[in-house]
Amino acid sequence: MPKINGNEIRPGNVLEHNGGLWAAVKVDHVKPGKGGAFAQVELRNLRNGSKLNERFRSADKVERVRLEQKDQQFLYEDNGMLVLMDTETYEQVQLSAELLGDRRPFLQDGMMIVVEYHEAEALNASLPQKVVCKIVETEPVVKGQTAANSFKPAILDNGVKVSVPPFVGQDEDIVVNTETMEYVERA
């Protein structure tokens, strides 16, 4: 695996550090008045989610890990396990639903997701950035109200609560950003 210098670490890089796999979440390059410059890196463990703040000098060498990304289709959920199918080999795999975290409700039947593997171990899964959902419950539309900076609460068909503009009504389809869990536009 390629080794990189401590000052080459960027957010999103996956590193092998202290015997674990860590994703760089935030990187700040610090140049103190006295002493050498260093990178202050916030790391998140890919296996258990714990966080760690670490300093890397430019002379420090760290292992950069490349994860294999596979497009897989969601088939169904069984006892907290997601059953996915590799679209190239048609092989079915089971992964823990915890891999998606709080984005789990946005997973829909037949949806394509990207799963990141290190050797044979699934470490991360990501949904499409935008998903169409139906509003199940919200306050009624008030005539003449424009898209001002006011939002009202709404409950989606998957149980997630989001804030929507006042002109959006019940039983309407909207597009939701799965990363920020916010309203984007009408579908």
DSSP 98: G
The rounded Cα 119 to chain-centroid distance in angstroms is 21
pTM above 0.95, yes or no: no
Task: Quote the pLDDT of residue 157.
Answer: 93
The string over 81-109, giving b where at least 16 C-beta atoms fall within 10 Å of a residue's C-beta and e elsewhere, is: ebebeeeeeeeebebeeebbeebbbbbee
Q: Beta partners for 85?
A: 73, 92
Q: CB–CB of 67/122 below 8 Å?
A: no
Query: What's the pLDDT score for residue 136?
Result: 93
CB-count exposure of residue 115 (10 Å: 0-12, 13-18, 19+): buried
Please say whether the dihedral angle defined by the alpha carbons of residues 167, 155, 134 and 113, taken in this order, is positive or negative. Answer: positive
What was the pLDDT predicted at 173? 94
Residue-by-residue pLDDT tens, the chain, 187 positions? 688 888 889 888 889 988 888 988 899 998 988 888 899 999 988 888 889 999 999 889 999 988 899 999 999 988 889 999 988 889 999 988 888 888 889 999 899 999 888 888 888 888 899 999 999 999 887 666 665 677 889 999 999 999 998 888 889 999 999 888 899 998 8
CA–CA distances in Å: residue 110 to residues 50, 101, 144: 31, 19, 39
* Model pLDDT, residue 147: 54
**Which pLDDT value is given to residue 148?**
61
